[in-house]
Each structure stands twice: as C-alpha cells, then as structure tokens.
Amino acid sequence: MAAITAIRSAPDLVRTSFTAFGTFGVLQVTRREALGAARLMLAAELQAIDAACSRFRPDSELTSVNARSGRKVELSPLLAKALAVALRAAAATDGDVDPTCGASLVRLGYDRDFAGLAADTSPLARPPVPAGGWRNVDLDQSGLTVQVPPGVQLDLGATAKALAADRAATSIAATTSAGVLVDLGGDIAVAGPPPPSGWWVRIADGMGRAGPVVAIRDGGLATSGTGDRRWRRGELRLHHILIPATGLPAQSCWLTATVAAASCTDANTASTAAVIRSAAAPAWLTGLGLPARLAASDGRIVTTPGWPDEP
C-alpha cells in the first residue's frame, strides 16, 4: 500500500509537462541533471506502449490481435505483459475491470481516439453489447501467444496507461538514481528517493473545483471518474467506464474515485472498479486496506482508512 499523508513543506523539484494518449502528462525528478535522460526514457516507454496497446492505431500490435480474433496470435513481450496485467486486474475485481470490452466501446461510438469523438453526434447504429468475458482469453505469457474467441475485441485502456507510468518511473529511477514522478492523466507512479515532504498531488473532484493536495512517498495514485471522457450520440450521453455484463456506461454515485496503492496499476484498477461498484465501493476498498477518496455528485466526500483528514 502506498504511504499517503497531508502536505507539509513545498518540495524543490524539476518539472516538465507534455501530452500523451490524448491527455496531459507531467514528469518530475528530484535532480536537474537527471531530467534529460528521464525525458528520453519516458518518451521511449510511451511510444512502445502506444505501438503495442493502442486500439486506435491501425499499425498497433493490439489492432492486429483484434483483427485475428479466434486464432492463436504471437505476441511481443510487452503486449504479453500488458495483457497479463489486464487479466490480473479483471481477476482482482471479479470482472469489473474487463479487457474484453473493446466491442462494447465500439458499439457506443468509442471507435477512434477520444479527441475525434465530438465530431460525430449521430444516434448509435447498433445496440450495446456485453463484454466478451475475460475468462475466455487464452494467454500464454511465457510462450508469448494469445487467443480470444471470434468477435471478441480487447481494449487495454483501463490498465495500459497506468502500466506505462509504473514502468517509466521504475526504469528512470533505476537508471538516474533520482526520485521520479510520472503522471499520465491522473495515473501517477513514483519511484526512487522521494522529496523530504513527499510528492505533492492535487486531487481532482470531478466538479470543476480544486480538490485537496496530498503527498505520497511510494507506489501509485490514480483517479477514475465519469466526468472527463464523455461524448454524445443522439440523445445519449456516454462515458468510457462500462459495466461489462451489459456494455453500458456505469451509473455510479461517484463522480471520481481516487485510490492509493502499491503501484499505479493497482491504484487504477481499484479506482475504476470503485466507480463501477458505486455505493458498495467504500466497504470493498476498506476490506482491501486501500486509502481512497470518493467524491459524489452532491458534493459529499467519503474516505477510507489511511486517507488523510481534510478541512
């Protein structure tokens, strides 16, 4: 579990920002001389993850796997790792975070990079469809092969970005010996020696207001919500967090769920599942021992043990 506290004194850090995966990104390091190498390593990691895991690139490895559903397909070690992480997330959440939602998202119009969704507001041509079922994915990680049932489409949007943050932070810290924070659109991973007061993170509340600032020293922090990635098709207002059993967007009492965990991937898995589990999320997160902050649409804030007190 990540250590998370209220803030104390301001850290002295070197910071740069960028865009990646259709969202904002931030890289921070504790030593200025490490920034150049850190930027190159991060860029290489993001490029590799995108080439392996993007559902929107016609030349990506995942696109090739989806096009060959029903057949055994050879994988690169990176995509095999990303698929293993996605299936582990599905198992840990009893299928709430399911990587076989690709066809479900396509039916809802999420068939292109998010930046292009606003251009098409026509009614949906086909009804929603449930996920294909993560247990039906036959992954041989050691043999580097996968087979999914015919017609099943994989989508790694729930875990690949968080995995990229974890991998980049770990490799940068190991190479430069500096402390590092990688933030990919709210999926945050830290590694190496932290600043004396920890890494400062401002929490999004999903209501357009500035949330609290907390500090983490290790692991990861992730925020999931239904407010940012939204689009309209006909009279329907849609978002990207789906109920796998129905293929429909989750109707949650939470606008955002923020979770701290041992890694960014674990934090993102738990925060996404918390949105889907709605009112049952606080008890579930408490049972896992994960500090979390849940923001409801009526302004109510619910936290779990380990999350710092707020004014």
Average pLDDT in the chain: 89
Residue 39 inside a domain? The answer is yes
Q: What is the pLDDT of residue 136?
A: 97
CB atoms within 10 A of CB 175: 14
Name the DSSP class of 208: S
Q: Which tens digit of pLDDT belongs to each residue from 69-96?
A: 999 999 999 999 999 999 999 999 999 9
Distance CA 201, CA 183 (A): 10
Q: Which domain holds residue 168?
A: 4-303
Beta strand residue intervals within 124-163, DSSP E? 138-140, 145-147
Question: Which residues partner with 294 through β-bridges?
Answer: 257, 302
The alpha-helical segments, DSSP class H, found in 135-240 are 160-176
Whether pLDDT at 234 is above 90: no
Token pair of 47, please?
A: 């490029």
Distance CA 211, CA 38 (A): 29
Q: What is the pLDDT of residue 153?
A: 96
pTM: 0.91
Q: How far is CA 193 from CA 7, 38, 200, 219, in A?
A: 17, 15, 14, 12
Residue 311 inside a domain? The answer is no
What values do phi and psi take at 177, rounded to 5?
65, 10
For the chain, what is the domain count?
1
Q: What is the pLDDT of residue 45?
A: 97
Whether pLDDT at 232 is above 90: no
Whether pLDDT at 119 is above 60: yes
- Specify the CATH number for the domain of residue 123: 3.10.520.10
Give the CA dihedral 81, 181, 227, 231, nearest 10 degrees: -60
Q: Calculate what percentage of the chain has a pLDDT beyond 90.
A: 69
Residue 308 inside a domain? The answer is no
Longest dimension (CA), the chain: 56
What values do phi and psi take at 246, rounded to 5?
-115, -25
Mean pLDDT of 131-151: 97
Q: Which tens digit of pLDDT belongs to each residue from 12-64?
A: 689 999 888 778 899 999 999 999 999 999 999 999 999 999 999 999 999 99
Q: Calculate what percentage of the chain has a pLDDT beyond 70.
A: 88
Residue 310 inside a domain? The answer is no
Question: Could you tell me the pLDDT band of residue 238, with boundaries at 50, 70 and 90?
Answer: low
Mean pLDDT of 189-193: 97
Q: What is the pLDDT of residue 231?
A: 60
Range in 26-40, 145-159, 241-255 with the lowest mean pLDDT: 241-255
Distance CA 89, CA 234 (A): 33
Question: Could you tell me the pLDDT band of residue 7, with boundaries at 50, 70 and 90?
Answer: very low
Q: Are 29 and 167 in contact (CB under 8 A)?
A: no
